[in-house]
């Protein structure tokens, strides 16, 4: 399973929840999927009053990076991120 094969990293400095979210993000194939997942996770974390916790802050950072990648590309095909 591709998702499990990508879930080999435990990133130093990230708690378990942040690691799980980041590993899931790494298997997504394009900016739309990534941003949709980020929005979903931010919503879940906000509803549970965790917007000041590491996973939410990490999602904000990743979101800005992904949005900037999309803006730098000249066409939709070029803006898709393949990891």
> How far apart are alpha carbons 70 and 1 in whole angstroms?
28
Tens-digit pLDDT profile for residues 4-48: 444 457 888 899 999 999 999 999 988 899 999 999 999 999 999
Which pTM does this prediction carry? 0.73
- Residue from 83, 82, 10, 16 nearest 55 by CA: 16
What is the rounded distance in angstroms from the CA atom of residue 68 to the CA atom of residue 34?
13
For 57-82, what is each residue's pLDDT tens digit? Answer: 999 999 999 988 877 765 555 545 55
Domain ranges for the chain: 2-79
Q: How many CB atoms lie within 10 A of CB 48?
A: 10
């Amino acid at each position: 399973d591709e998702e499990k094969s990508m879930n080999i990293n435990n990133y130093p400095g990230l708690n378990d929840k942040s690691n799980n979210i980041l590993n899931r993000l790494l298997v997504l194939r394009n900016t739309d999927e990534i941003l949709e997942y980020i929005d979903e996770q931010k919503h879940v974390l906000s509803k549970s009053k965790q917007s000041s916790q590491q996973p939410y802050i990490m999602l904000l950072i990743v979101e800005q990076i992904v949005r900037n990648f999309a803006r730098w590309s000249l066409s939709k095909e070029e803006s898709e991120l393949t990891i």
